[in-house]
Amino acid sequence: MPKGRPMNIVSSVRTGWHHACVTLACLVLVGCAVPARLGENDRARVAGRTFVVTGASSGLGRGAAIRLAEYGGNVVLAARRAAVLEQLADQLRAAGGQALVVPTDVSRPEEVQHLAAMAMSRFGRIDAWINDAAVAAIGPFEQVPVEDHARVVDVNLKGTLFGSYAALRQFRRQGFGTLVNVASVEGRIPLAYHASYAATKAAILALDAALIQELRIRGSTGIQVASVLPWALDTPFWDHAANYSGGTPRIASMDDPAPTVNAVVWAAIHPAKEVAPGFKAQAALLGDQLWPGLAERLAAGVVHRSQIETAPPAPPTSGSLYIPLAIGTTVEGGARARMAEEDRNRQPIPR
C-alpha cells in the first residue's frame, strides 16, 4: 500500500464529517429563520388580510387562528364543531381580529367550495389558506378497520386536496395568495401504527411539490405554496385519534405546540417550500437524509415501546373520525402531563 494511502482515508473521513457538520449547521440556521416570536413587521403583513384556517377548533389550527387575530387579521374559521368555532370567534374579535365561522367537513368538496365562497363574500379576497384539518387511526395496520383508514385519507389527503383546489382557483383569479399545507415529519419518516396517517402526510408533501412545479412553469410568481412539517405535538390530536393499539394514545418526546403555531403563521406570510419547526423536526429530517433507513428503525423502536409496551390499556375507539368529540378544544392537549402521570403509576414488570 502506498505510504500516503492511510492519510488519504483519514482525510476523506474528516472531509465527509466536515460536510455533514456543515449540512447540519445550514439546516439549523434555516430552522432558526422561523423566530420564536413574530415581530412588528410580521404584524403588518397580517393586519387587514384574510386567512382561511381549517381544523380551527383545536390544536395548531386554533393556535394559528388566535395568533392571526391578535395581529389584526381577518380569520375564516372552518371545522365541524360549529359551537366551538362560535366561541373561538368571540375570542378572536376580543383580541382585535375579525372572524367568520363556516362549519365545514373538509372531506366534502361542496362544503369546501362553500367555505371559499363565504370567505370571498365577507372579505372580498383570500390572502392565505391554511389546511390543518387532520385525523388519525392508531394501531397495527390490519387491526384498524379499513373504513377508518379510508376516513383518514378522506379528511387528511382529500380534505387538503379540496382546500388546495379551492384556494388556488381563487388565487389565480386575484393574482396572489399563499397556500399552507400542514404535513408532518411522518411524511418523511413514517411511524409504525400510524400507517394511514403517515401515508396521507407523505402524499401532501408530494402534492405540494407538484403544485410548486406547476406554479413555476406558469410563471405564477404571486402565488406561493408552503409545507409545514411538525414534530409530534402535545395537542388534542391524541384525544381525537381513533385507537386500536390496546393502549392510550401516546408517543415519546412531544413538543409544545406554540413554536409550531408561530411557524404556521410565519409560513403564511413568509412562504418557503418546507418549514420544519424546531430542532427535533430538523434533526429527524437531516438524519433521514444522511442515514436513509436508520431514522425509521430508531423511530419504530421508540413508538413501539411508547404505544405498545408501556401505554396503559385502553378500549378501541373510532375517536373523532366520523363524529366530532366534545373534548379537546384547546391548543395544548395535556398529553405530556397525562403520560407523565401514567408512567409514574405504571407497575414494574416482574423479572
Please identify every residue annotated as catalytic: 197
Q: Which amino acid is at 46?
A: V
Q: Are 261 and 60 in contact (CB under 8 A)?
A: yes
Alpha-carbon separation of residue 191 from 185, 214, 292 (angstroms): 10, 30, 15
Q: Which amino acid is at 84?
A: V
For residue 348 the three cell numbers come to 414494574
For residue 153 the three cell numbers come to 385519507
Of 104, 234, 235, 126, the C-alpha closest to 171 is 126
Q: Are 332 and 268 in contact (CB under 8 A)?
A: no
**Residue 74: helix, strand or coil by DSSP?**
strand
Q: Are 182 and 135 in contact (CB under 8 A)?
A: no
Q: What are the beta bridge partners of residue 76?
A: 52, 100
Question: How far apart, in whole angstroms, are the C-alpha atoms of residue 68 and residue 113?
Answer: 23
Residues in the chain: 351
Q: Are 194 and 250 in contact (CB under 8 A)?
A: no
Question: How far apart, in whole angstroms, are the C-alpha atoms of residue 306 and residue 186?
Answer: 16
Q: Are 139 and 193 in contact (CB under 8 A)?
A: yes
3-state helix, strand, coil in the chain (%, to 5): 55, 10, 35
